[in-house]
Structures are given as C-alpha cells and as structure tokens.
Amino acid sequence: MNEKEWDPKQAGADAGLDTTLLSTLSSEAADWRTIQDGQRILTTTPSVLGGCRAQVYRSAGATQWYTAVIVGVNEHTGELTVTDDTVLEEHSEDPSLVQMRLLGDGVIESIMKGEVVGVMPRRSRSNLQRLSVYPSVILVFMSRQVPAPDDALAAIILNPHRFS
C-alpha cells in the first residue's frame, strides 16, 4: 500500500465507525497533504513554477485574496514575480512570508512527479511582449486545467534560461 493512501482499518473501521465519516476524513487528509506539498514546492523549488496559477493573500489593500500567474523567480531570495489576473500588474511575493496556494487540478501532483507544468490563463499584450523578449520560449497548447472565461486552451511556457 502507498504511504499516502488511507487505511480504514487503522482509522477504526473494525471498531464499527461510520464508513461515510471515514471516507470524509480520508478526503480531507488527502486535501491537507496536497496543500502541504504545494507549500513545500513554493518554498523549496520555486523554479518549477513558471507559468503556474496561484492564489495569493495580500494583507494590505482592499483585495485580500487575488489570483495571479507566476512569471518569474528570484533564485537568490526565493521571491516569486506574479502577474495579478485582475489588473495585470506584477508583484514580488515571498511564499515563505505570504500565504499562497497553487491552483489547478493535478498541478501539485504533476510537479511532484517531475512533470513540466505551467498554465498561462489567457493572452494579453504584456504576455505577448514577454514572449517576443524570450525567443527560447516553447509554446505547447493543451486542454485547460483551470476554468477561464476567455478560451479553452492554455499555453505551457517553458523558458530554461529564466526558470532554471
């Protein structure tokens, strides 16, 4: 058995506990593990996050949580450069000091498996300008993992010079 799988016998299934309760606990434990894995990735290996979407908590200002795309990593400080989805402004955020969550079904699991991920949610002028600045960028189109109002495709952006 995989160490991350829930064993109902250890949780008291033999003692007559409700299987619905055990199933709920199993699901919540799996969600908690995924959040912890995401935090570990954000703080220890941020270089793999280029192009991923994140939810960021900002304590200052009117908007408490905002969604953004991770567009850069400062390897020396660990700070992430993120572009806010609503106003398309770049911010520097330190994931060890600010609450951040990676968004997208299966993104954390894919990163943990060593797969290259990075979903750009839509094309804007700033994204297109950024692509022209980095000619080594490779675009691969795939089905969207997170819903977006604009289109049904997303671009995976991999720039080995910027994120390695």
Residue 107 lies in a domain: yes
Q: How high is the pLDDT of residue 79?
A: 92
Residue 6 lies in a domain: no
C-alpha span between 118 and 52 (Å, rounded): 4
Q: How high is the pLDDT of residue 131?
A: 39
Q: How high is the pLDDT of residue 86?
A: 85
Residue 157 lies in a domain: yes
CB 47 within 8 A of CB 164: yes
Residue 106 lies in a domain: yes
* Bridge partner residues of 56 (DSSP): 66, 100
Residue 78 lies in a domain: yes
Residue 137 lies in a domain: yes
User: For residue 125, what are the domain limits?
Assistant: 13-163
Residue 4 lies in a domain: no
Q: What is the domain-level CATH number for residue 84?
A: 2.30.30.30
Q: Minimal CA–CA distance to 49: which of 6, 104, 127, 12?
A: 104
Q: How high is the pLDDT of residue 136?
A: 32
Number of structural domains in the chain: 1
Residue 1 lies in a domain: no
Q: How high is the pLDDT of residue 11?
A: 57
Q: What is the pLDDT along the chain (164 residues), one digit of tens a residue?
A: 556 676 666 655 566 677 888 888 888 998 899 889 988 988 888 888 888 899 998 877 776 889 999 999 998 888 999 999 888 889 899 998 888 988 887 788 878 877 776 655 444 445 444 433 333 333 333 333 444 433 333 333 333 333 43
With H, G, I as helix, E, B as strand and everything else as coil, classify residue 138.
strand
Q: How high is the pLDDT of residue 129?
A: 45
Whole-model pTM: value is 0.57
